[in-house]
Amino acid sequence: MSGLKVLITNFRLATLTGTELYVRDVALSLLEHGHTPIIYSPLPGKLANDLSRSVTVLDHLDKDTSVPDVIHGHQLKETMVALLNFPGVPAVYFCHDTFSRADAPPNFPRVLCYVAVDLACRDKLIKLGAPVDRIKVVTSFVDLKRFKQRTPLPERPRKALVFCNYAREGAHLNAIRKACNQVGIQLDVRGEGVGNVATLPEELLKQYDVVFAKGRAALEALAVGTAVIIYVKRRVGPLVTSSETDRLLQLNFGIRAMSERLDPQAMTHVIAQQLERYDAADARVASDRVRETAGLEIATNEIVDIYEEAIAEQRDRQTDFAGEEQAAAAYIQRLHADWANDLTWRTRERLLKVPLLGKLARSVARIADRSQSE
């Protein structure tokens, strides 16, 4: 099957966060492989503008009259909009975030496969009711044409980089600086949280020997050939060794590979321990393994295979109109409940800002908390 028209959904296409970059890379790779990607994003921005030079980007689906062969869904709301806008079109749903409510799986008859990017997302899909026999794990990928290997690492590290959009100035970032200073390593920080986003990470990462990162950023750093210590905010994971690369890829170098939250003193101690494990030769082996198993080309072929399976299954089955109507009604009920909960929360926050009402509300809340604890 060739020349597929694929509608990819994502709630936003403006910045350089994980799913946005995932959509960009998948769309461009599909285009390169002879398919026609179309992206639906109700919140387009700079990234959408850049992509629109080669890929159709829509902020309203009614702007496109052509029917896709398959829906590649990200986030619940946007996937449901696509499903209801294109009756009869099969969908594949991709879950990227373990915690976000927006990444809840749609319970809809035409979602024929649920794809998790790691084992934690797989467990989330199961917990939220996705059929186990329809779940697949397709781990994250890196564009090997962009992220080329750097020259071999020095025997001892000289420069390190915190490469994380969640990093903020404060005690925990200073704890990493302290650990690096103790062994004579210069530390730089790049990311949205410090107002210094890296627009060309493929060039930036080559300049460093050690990178503190998680998820996609960690994978990119490994592909380039740096030593990587898994990190986000107040959590630290291990330095990625060649023997652990495959296992940690299944965890997407994410939360399950990290410690519990650490205080700054403990973080300095743990970082220092991981820096002592630095091994330039082993880092190269780990990089070679990532480049062998986690390239964009491999992932694209796997994703297209999933598309084709969904299309073939939908072709051979009868549309469950009653089931779809029930699923749509259940989704609208859920939207209403979420809206009511959000409205309650917003009203509470506004009341707390009113001097007299806010003081009274806080007093009532404290009394309620004490009565529950007793």
Q: 98 and 222: one domain?
A: no
Instruction: Flag whether pLDDT at 359 surpasses 60.
Output: no
Q: 245 and 312: one domain?
A: no
Q: 126 and 186: one domain?
A: no
Asked whether residue 349 is domain-assigned, the answer is: yes
Instruction: Flag whether pLDDT at 374 surpasses 70.
Output: no
Q: 12 and 137: one domain?
A: yes
Residues 6+ apart with CB under 8 A from 297: 29, 144
For 316-325, what is each residue's pLDDT tens digit? 998 888 999 9
Q: 25 and 125: one domain?
A: yes
Q: 116 and 128: one domain?
A: yes
Assess contact for 229 and 210: CB atoms under 8 A. Answer: yes
| pLDDT above 90 as % of the chain | 79
Residue 370: per-residue pLDDT: 47
Q: 188 and 286: one domain?
A: yes
Instruction: Flag whether pLDDT at 220 surpasses 80.
Output: yes
Residues 6+ apart with CB under 8 A from 280: 152, 153, 154, 155, 227
Which of 102, 82, 100, 101 minimizes the C-alpha distance to 92? 82
CATH number, position 228:
3.40.50.2000
DSSP 2: -
For 184-198, what is each residue's pLDDT tens digit? 999 999 998 899 888
Q: What is the mean pLDDT of residues 328-340?
A: 82
Q: Give the phi and the psi of residue 16 in degrees, each rounded to 5.
A: -120, 40
For 53-84, what is each residue's pLDDT tens digit? 999 999 999 866 689 999 999 999 999 999 99
Structure tokens at 77: 């709301």
Q: What is the mean pLDDT of residues 234-243?
A: 97
Residue 334: per-residue pLDDT: 84
Q: 191 and 216: one domain?
A: yes
Q: What is the pTM of this model?
A: 0.86
Q: 185 and 230: one domain?
A: yes
Asked whether residue 283 is domain-assigned, the answer is: yes
Out of 13-22, 72-81, 160-169, 203-212, pick the least confident: 13-22
Asked whether residue 151 is domain-assigned, the answer is: no
Domain span at residue 238? 159-293
Structure tokens at 251: 């965890």
Q: What is the mean pLDDT of residues 217-225?
A: 97
Q: How many structural domains are present in the chain? A: 3
Asked whether residue 86 is domain-assigned, the answer is: yes
Asked whether residue 153 is domain-assigned, the answer is: no
Q: What is the mean pLDDT of residues 341-346?
A: 59
Instruction: Flag whether pLDDT at 276 surpasses 90.
Output: yes
Asked whether residue 256 is domain-assigned, the answer is: yes
Out of 71-80, 271-280, 359-368, pick the least confident: 359-368
Q: How confident is the model at residue 1 (pLDDT cuts 50, 70, 90)?
A: low
Instruction: Flag whether pLDDT at 372 surpasses 60.
Output: no
Instruction: Flag whether pLDDT at 368 surpasses 80.
Output: no
Asked whether residue 234 is domain-assigned, the answer is: yes
Q: Beta-carbon neighbour count of residue 117 at 10 Å?
A: 26
Instruction: Flag whether pLDDT at 349 surpasses 80.
Output: no
To the nearest whole number, what is the mean pLDDT of the chain?
91
For 290-316, what is each residue's pLDDT tens digit? 999 999 999 999 999 999 999 999 999
Q: 308 and 195: one domain?
A: no
Q: 163 and 114: one domain?
A: no
Residue 15: per-residue pLDDT: 83
Q: What is the mean pLDDT of residues 249-270?
A: 95
What is the Cα–Cα distance from 91 to 306, expressed in whole angstroms? 10
**What does the DSSP assignment read for 85-154?**
HSTT--EEEEE--SS-GGGPPP--TTEEEEEESSHHHHHHHHHTT--GGGEEE----B-TTTS---SPPP
Residue 366: per-residue pLDDT: 54
Q: Residue 368, class by beta-carbon neighbours within 10 Å (0-12 exposed, 13-18 middle, 19+ buried)?
A: exposed
Asked whether residue 326 is domain-assigned, the answer is: no
Residue 338: per-residue pLDDT: 73
Q: 137 and 192: one domain?
A: no
Which of 72, 74, 192, 215 minimizes the C-alpha distance to 142? 215
Q: Beta-carbon neighbour count of residue 62 at 10 Å?
A: 7
Residue 371: per-residue pLDDT: 45
